[in-house]
């Protein structure tokens, strides 16, 4: 085993072309004993070519692996079996693997073949497994694989979620932003929107649909991060019954109804325990039990259109069914992002707390990819946006994103510039800007030598450019307030920005 591993490590250093053109032909010439000693080559070739972008090359390697399934040595067959799913299985390899499963007496080989068939299995495997009492292959995995081969599954934004008594959605957000998310829902309801706030909790807002709705309508709201249907709660997450309750929630008529109504393709879900630690065993048990209860819904970690998320708090766990919507319709404008790009719902929350004024002129001094400016313009009533950033690549992205946002009513100007150089920027007339809005460098992903100096300058310059009653709305990572008497702190709330707290602050120019 050690010798195999050492040889494998050596072979991984060998260029791919040499592996294929020199080492593989040499291997093919060896006698059976020598081939067994060189089996690490099969593993190395499988791993190296699994990421090849050349389909012909990959097909040739796969054909070699399939030929090795006839090898008299169990070890060589087993290594080839393990490599085949990585190279992309097909009907031929499936057929050969099923033959081995039926004929081999070696348990180790049976297990490897079963695991490969779970990954690549199609109709033939399903036929061999379904109702046969075959224990080694997980029927659910094969069904999921067959479903995937039938084409991608997507959650349909335009499908109607029927009116359903007691149906609740959880709109999740970063801690500290809940009231902003709730506020947006209430304002939307006032304009005829379909959702009503039921409760505001830590990190999420519970809403109730007042009528049948589509996810496209829900995604008109911009401040929440993810939306999920509430399925159940588990009173004692540590208890023996907890997994049973979870499996029942997944297999429930409600989950099935939602998944079938909203999915194009097969109803597949991944199960995600939103807490630290390894939950592999629990996930496997729950998935098995849920499949026994309802075989129309399939657990599948790969490319599944749904996620069942289990969120734990001290006393209980919440079970949610979350559509995995991709691409995100709210980000239709995003052509590219900068390294420290804002979390898009955070940008929308900044815009919401800023409120609206007439004839807005909006400046983001640290605009990055431009999300705050685009969200401002999307909210309406903005005549001009101005973005500055010291990074020319960020400015190019902001310009492209703004163009893709298609906001013809708003003029846009982007400048590669330090935010302090406002004299060079014609759109930034002193006393004319109505809103300075930004998610500035927070000293983590974008390093700044003098954070204190940067924010002191931000207050000073914001005060210079803002018109009376104008606002400075930004994320403040420091315990630093404006000492400028013309800027009055109007609100400050603590927001969790992914493990560290900052403040979302609003200052108003007197």
Ligand X SMILES: C[S@@+](CC[C@H](N)C(=O)[O-])C[C@H]1O[C@@H](n2cnc3c(N)ncnc32)[C@H](O)[C@@H]1O
Does 394 sit near ligand X (CB under 6 A)? yes
Question: What is the Cα–Cα distance from 19 to 24, expressed in whole angstroms?
Answer: 6
CB of 141 to ligand X, least distance (A): 40
Q: Which is nearer to ligand X, 216 or 393 (CB)?
A: 393
Does 404 sit near ligand X (CB under 6 A)? no
Interacting span for ligand X (CB under 6 A) from 118-126, 227-235, 316-324, 387-395: 387-395
Question: What is the Cα–Cα distance from 33 to 331, expressed in whole angstroms?
Answer: 59
Interacting span for ligand X (CB under 6 A) from 198-206, 311-319, 335-343, 461-469: 335-343
Nearest to 255 by CA among 180, 179, 82, 247: 247
Site for ligand X in 28-87 (CB under 6 A): none
The 3-class secondary structure across 354-408, one letter per residue, is HCCCCCEEEEECCCCCCHHHHHHHHHCCEEEEEEEECCHHHHHHHHHHHHHHCCC
Site for ligand X in 290-319 (CB under 6 A): none
CB of 399 to ligand X, least distance (A): 13
Does 376 sit near ligand X (CB under 6 A)? no
Q: Is residue 482 exposed (0-12), middle (13-18) or buried (19+ Cβ within 10 Å)?
A: buried
User: Is residue 215 a contact partner of residue 155, using CB atoms and an 8 Å limit?
Assistant: yes
DSSP β-bridge partners for residue 505: 474, 492
User: Is residue 255 a contact partner of residue 286, using CB atoms and an 8 Å limit?
Assistant: no
Q: Return the C-alpha torsion angle 400, 405, 408, 409, nearest 10.
A: -120
User: Is residue 510 a contact partner of residue 468, using CB atoms and an 8 Å limit?
Assistant: yes
CB of 288 to ligand X, least distance (A): 43
Does 363 sit near ligand X (CB under 6 A)? no
State CA 420 to chain mean position distance: 36
The 3-class secondary structure across 257-324, one letter per residue, is HHHHHHEECCCEEEEEEECCCCCHHHHHHHHHHHHHHCCCCEECCCCCCEEEEEEECCCCEEEEEEEC
Residue 339: how many CA atoms within 13 Å on its side-chain side? Answer: 8
Q: Which is nearer to ligand X, 192 or 327 (CB)?
A: 327
Does 338 sit near ligand X (CB under 6 A)? yes
Does 254 sit near ligand X (CB under 6 A)? no
- Residue from 48, 60, 390, 396 touching ligand X (CB under 6 A): that is 390
- Residue from 304, 388, 434, 476 touching ligand X (CB under 6 A): that is 388
Q: Which is nearer to ligand X, 329 or 453 (CB)?
A: 453
- Residue from 342, 384, 410, 463 touching ligand X (CB under 6 A): that is 342
CB of 372 to ligand X, least distance (A): 5
Pairing mode, strands 263-264 and 154-155? antiparallel
Does 368 sit near ligand X (CB under 6 A)? yes
- Residue from 139, 217, 300, 389 touching ligand X (CB under 6 A): that is 389
- Nearest residue to ligand X on Cβ basis: 368
Q: Which is nearer to ligand X, 193 or 370 (CB)?
A: 370
Q: Which is nearer to ligand X, 34 or 501 (CB)?
A: 501
Does 413 sit near ligand X (CB under 6 A)? no
In Å, how far are 71, 77, 125, 184, 349 from 353, measured between CA atoms?
69, 63, 56, 10, 6
Site for ligand X in 440-459 (CB under 6 A): 440-441, 446, 448
Pairing mode, strands 268-274 and 306-312? parallel
Interacting span for ligand X (CB under 6 A) from 89-97, 334-342, 350-358, 376-384: 334-342
Does 372 sit near ligand X (CB under 6 A)? yes
Interacting span for ligand X (CB under 6 A) from 111-119, 143-151, 303-311, 389-397: 389-397
In Å, how far are 250, 320, 376 from 237, measured between CA atoms?
16, 14, 42
CB of 337 to ligand X, least distance (A): 6
Interacting span for ligand X (CB under 6 A) from 176-184, 322-330, 367-375, 480-488: 367-375
Nearest to 82 by CA among 122, 111, 55: 111
Q: How many residues bind ligand X (CB under 6 A)?
A: 22
Does 470 sit near ligand X (CB under 6 A)? no
Which two structure tokens, joined as six digits, stand for 506?
A: 């609003």
The DSSP output letter for 478 is S
CB of 451 to ligand X, least distance (A): 10
Does 419 sit near ligand X (CB under 6 A)? yes
CB of 345 to ligand X, least distance (A): 12
State CA 221 to chain mean position distance: 19
Does 439 sit near ligand X (CB under 6 A)? yes
Does 371 sit near ligand X (CB under 6 A)? yes
- Residue from 418, 464, 484, 496 touching ligand X (CB under 6 A): that is 418
Contact positions toward ligand X, by CB under 6 A? 338, 340-342, 365-366, 368-369, 371-372, 388-391, 394, 418-419, 439-441, 446, 448
């Amino acid at each position: 085993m050690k010798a195999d591993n050492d040889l494998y490590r050596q072979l991984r250093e060998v260029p791919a072309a040499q592996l294929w053109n020199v080492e593989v032909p040499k291997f093919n010439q060896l006698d059976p004993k020598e081939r067994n000693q060189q089996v690490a080559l099969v593993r190395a070739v499988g791993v190296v070519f699994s990421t090849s972008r050349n389909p012909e090359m990959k097909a040739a390697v796969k054909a070699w692996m399939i030929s090795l399934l006839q090898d008299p040595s169990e070890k060589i067959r087993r290594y080839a079996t393990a490599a085949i799913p990585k190279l992309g299985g097909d009907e031929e390899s499936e057929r050969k693997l099923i033959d081995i499963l039926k004929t081999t007496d070696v348990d180790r080989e049976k297990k490897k073949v079963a695991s490969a068939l779970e990954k690549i299995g199609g109709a033939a495997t399903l036929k061999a497994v379904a109702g046969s009492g075959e224990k080694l292959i997980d029927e659910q995995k094969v069904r999921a694989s067959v479903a995937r081969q039938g084409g991608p599954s997507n959650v349909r934004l335009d499908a109607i979620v029927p009116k359903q008594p007691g149906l609740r959605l959880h709109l999740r957000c970063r801690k500290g932003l809940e009231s902003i998310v709730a506020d947006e829902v209430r304002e939307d309801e006032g304009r005829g929107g379909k959702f009503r706030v039921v409760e505001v909790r830590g990190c999420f807002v519970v809403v109730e649909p007042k009528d049948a709705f589509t996810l496209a309508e829900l995604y008109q709201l911009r401040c929440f991060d993810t939306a999920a249907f509430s399925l159940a709660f588990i009173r004692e997450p540590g208890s023996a019954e907890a997994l049973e309750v979870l499996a029942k929630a997944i297999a429930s008529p409600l989950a099935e109804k939602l998944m079938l109504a909203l999915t194009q393709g097969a109803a597949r879900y991944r199960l995600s325990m939103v807490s630290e630690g390894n939950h592999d065993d629990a996930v496997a048990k729950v998935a098995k039990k849920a499949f026994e209860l309802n075989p129309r819904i399939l657990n599948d970690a790969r490319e599944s259109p749904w996620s069942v998320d289990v969120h734990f708090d001290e006393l209980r766990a919440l079970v949610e069914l979350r559509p995995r919507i991709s691409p995100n319709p709210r980000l239709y404008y995003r052509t590219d992002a900068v390294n420290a790009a804002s979390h898009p719902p955070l940008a929308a929350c900044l815009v919401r707390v800023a409120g609206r004024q007439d004839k807005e002129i909006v400046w983001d001094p640290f605009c990055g990819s431009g999300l705050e400016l685009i969200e401002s313009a999307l909210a309406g009533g903005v005549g001009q946006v101005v973005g500055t950033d010291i990074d020319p690549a960020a400015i190019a992205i902001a310009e492209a994103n703004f163009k893709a946002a298609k906001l013809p009513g708003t003029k846009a100007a982007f400048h590669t510039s330090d935010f302090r150089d406002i004299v060079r920027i014609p759109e930034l007339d002193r006393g004319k800007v109505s809103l300075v809005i930004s998610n500035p460098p927070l000293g983590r992903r974008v390093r700044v030598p003098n954070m204190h100096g940067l924010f002191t300058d931000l207050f000073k310059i914001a005060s210079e450019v803002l018109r009376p009653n104008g606002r400075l709305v930004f994320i403040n990572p420091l315990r630093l307030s404006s000492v400028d008497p013309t800027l009055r702190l109007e609100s400050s709330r603590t927001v969790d920005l992914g493990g560290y707290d900052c403040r979302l602050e609003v200052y108003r120019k007197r």
